[in-house]
Amino acid sequence: MSALNDTDQLYVHSATDFEQQLVTQQHGEYRRMEETLDRCWDVANVLPARELTMLPARLLDAHHRRGG
Protein backbone atom coordinates (compact mmCIF):
# COMPACT_ATOMS: atom_id res chain seq x y z
CA MET A 1 0.00 0.00 0.00
CA SER A 2 3.00 2.29 0.20
CA ALA A 3 2.62 3.07 -3.52
CA LEU A 4 -0.78 4.65 -2.85
CA ASN A 5 -1.10 8.31 -1.93
CA ASP A 6 -2.86 9.35 1.28
CA THR A 7 -6.27 9.80 -0.36
CA ASP A 8 -6.06 6.44 -2.13
CA GLN A 9 -5.23 4.78 1.18
CA LEU A 10 -8.35 6.40 2.67
CA TYR A 11 -10.41 4.88 -0.14
CA VAL A 12 -9.03 1.43 0.67
CA HIS A 13 -9.85 2.00 4.33
CA SER A 14 -13.39 3.18 3.50
CA ALA A 15 -13.98 0.10 1.32
CA THR A 16 -12.99 -2.12 4.24
CA ASP A 17 -15.24 -0.14 6.59
CA PHE A 18 -18.10 -0.38 4.09
CA GLU A 19 -17.82 -4.14 3.99
CA GLN A 20 -17.48 -4.54 7.75
CA GLN A 21 -20.12 -2.02 8.85
CA LEU A 22 -22.75 -2.22 6.11
CA VAL A 23 -22.48 -5.34 3.98
CA THR A 24 -21.62 -7.85 6.69
CA GLN A 25 -24.70 -8.42 8.80
CA GLN A 26 -25.17 -11.28 11.21
CA HIS A 27 -28.03 -13.72 10.70
CA GLY A 28 -30.98 -12.37 12.63
CA GLU A 29 -29.37 -8.96 13.15
CA TYR A 30 -31.92 -6.19 12.99
CA ARG A 31 -30.87 -2.61 12.27
CA ARG A 32 -33.09 0.40 12.41
CA MET A 33 -32.86 2.73 9.41
CA GLU A 34 -31.25 5.39 11.62
CA GLU A 35 -28.49 2.98 12.64
CA THR A 36 -27.84 2.05 9.01
CA LEU A 37 -27.62 5.74 8.04
CA ASP A 38 -25.27 6.42 10.96
CA ARG A 39 -23.07 3.59 9.75
CA CYS A 40 -23.11 5.07 6.24
CA TRP A 41 -21.86 8.38 7.63
CA ASP A 42 -19.19 6.56 9.65
CA VAL A 43 -17.91 5.06 6.40
CA ALA A 44 -18.18 8.35 4.49
CA ASN A 45 -16.37 10.20 7.28
CA VAL A 46 -13.22 8.23 6.52
CA LEU A 47 -12.84 10.38 3.40
CA PRO A 48 -12.25 14.13 3.30
CA ALA A 49 -15.29 16.20 2.28
CA ARG A 50 -13.59 17.19 -0.98
CA GLU A 51 -13.94 13.56 -2.13
CA LEU A 52 -17.68 13.42 -1.46
CA THR A 53 -18.69 15.55 -4.43
CA MET A 54 -21.97 13.71 -5.08
CA LEU A 55 -23.41 14.73 -1.71
CA PRO A 56 -25.15 18.07 -1.22
CA ALA A 57 -23.26 20.61 0.88
CA ARG A 58 -26.11 20.77 3.41
CA LEU A 59 -25.70 17.05 4.18
CA LEU A 60 -21.94 17.35 4.49
CA ASP A 61 -22.34 20.35 6.79
CA ALA A 62 -24.77 18.40 8.96
CA HIS A 63 -23.00 15.04 9.10
CA HIS A 64 -19.39 15.13 7.95
CA ARG A 65 -16.82 15.14 10.76
CA ARG A 66 -13.50 15.06 8.90
CA GLY A 67 -11.51 18.03 7.67
CA GLY A 68 -10.49 18.37 4.05
Give the pLDDT confidence score for residue 12 in this predicted structure. Answer: 94
pTM of the model: 0.76
Kindly report the number of other CB atoms within 10 A of residue 11's CB atom.
14
> pLDDT below 50 — which residues of the chain?
67-68
Q: What are the sequence ranges of the domains in the chain?
A: 6-63
Nearest to 64 by CA among 43, 41, 36: 41
Say if residues 37 and 22 touch (Cβ distance below 8 Å): no
The sign one gets for the Cα dihedral 55, 59, 63, 66 is positive
